[in-house]
Amino acid sequence: MRIGALEAGGTKMVCAVGDELGNIYDKVTIPTETPDETMPKMIEYFKNAHVDALGIGCFGPVCLDKADAHYGYITSTPKIAWRSYDIVGAFEASLGVPVGFDTDVNAACLGEVSFGSASGLSDVLYLTVGTGIGLGIYSGGKLLHGNLHPEAGHILLRRHPSDTYAGKCPYHKDCFEGLAAGPAIEERYGVPARELSDAKAWDIEAYYIAQALVSYILILAPQKIILGGGVMHKTELFPMIREHVEKLLNGYIVTRELKDLEDYIVPASLNDEQGIKGCLVLGRDA
């Protein structure tokens, strides 16, 4: 089976062709401009690839309720040109193939569960920390949806005692994303995350990520937590995050998994292809 995979991001669209085993045969990147500019390029790519199905992992918010008239739409995104856009319907009409659809972070979580370090597990979290913060949740052997989908990057956190930054989220100011995503780091310290070397700054970042993880652990009881995204390329963060998680939990939860935090809170394992591989699974299932 030839499956198209689209990892639809706010700045770039990663289009690929692969198979149900997670093999990727070809991949291109197309800038995210307006639908009128970007969609024809993607449709042409998948048409020329003669795909049998397409899986889309999309920036959001999106409508995932198949009983809703707006299923397959990008909804209240800050990217105005894409607001209320029927991305699934556009591909179905143009390609004439089944289309699987979910959030970008759920797709990445599915990639890790299907082909990565979470293979064989039933309850897994994939947290991405980059331009934004999002959480993909695999619970009880399936991706978690509700009246929308997880938007756990916008949970409210307790402030670090030495942090006076107002926060960057346009909706909540100092939510998790507003305090700890890449743009917040750059605005707070005046340099991009990749150039930041201040140890205290990274301790604050680790504290916020750990605080969020503790909330997720207590509510969702995952068997493994995978951290991806551009900020998490700073590998020195991982031991700092684990240390803060241990302090914040303070021995309250005692499970086999939490006895080994190095194997419990881990980096993404698929060379930044977890999202596109998850899209292959969405396409296969469609």
Alpha-carbon span 177 to 132, nearest angstrom: 6
How confident is the model over 228-267, as pLDDT tens digits?
999 999 999 999 999 999 999 999 999 999 999 999 999 9
Mean pLDDT of 74-91: 94
Instruction: For residue 160, give the nearest of 184, 133, 142, 192 by alpha carbon.
Output: 184
pLDDT on residue 272 = 93
Mean pLDDT of 67-71: 95
Confidence tier at 78 by pLDDT (50, 70, 90): confident
Has residue 148 got a pLDDT over 90?
Answer: no
pLDDT on residue 267 = 98
Alpha-carbon span 209 to 248, nearest angstrom: 12
Please give the CATH architecture assigned to the domain spanning 117-267: 2-Layer Sandwich (3.30)
pLDDT on residue 192 = 95
For 160, the token pair is: 């670090």
Has residue 147 got a pLDDT over 90?
Answer: no
| Contact of 196 with 185, CB cutoff 8 Å | yes
Q: Is the dihedral of CA 64, 97, 134, 215 positive or negative?
A: positive
SS3 content of the chain, % helix, strand, coil (to 5): 40, 20, 35
Pick the CATH number of 3-103+273-285 from 3.30.460.10, 3.40.50.300, 3.30.420.40, 3.40.630.40: 3.30.420.40
What stretch(es) of the chain map to CATH 3.30.420.40? 3-103+273-285, 117-267
How confident is the model over 171-201, as pLDDT tens digits?
999 999 999 999 999 999 999 999 999 999 9
Q: What is the DSSP string of 39-72?
A: HHHHHHHHHHHT-SEEEEEE-SSB---TTSTTTT
According to DSSP, residue 175 is labeled: B
Mean pLDDT of 135-142: 97
Has residue 79 got a pLDDT over 90?
Answer: no
- The structure's pTM equals 0.95
How confident is the model over 11-24, as pLDDT tens digits?
899 999 999 999 99
Residue 28: CB atoms within 10 A of its CB come to 12
How confident is the model over 104-131, as pLDDT tens digits?
999 999 999 999 999 999 999 999 999 9
pLDDT on residue 146 = 85
Task: Give the three-class secondary structure for 169.
Answer: strand
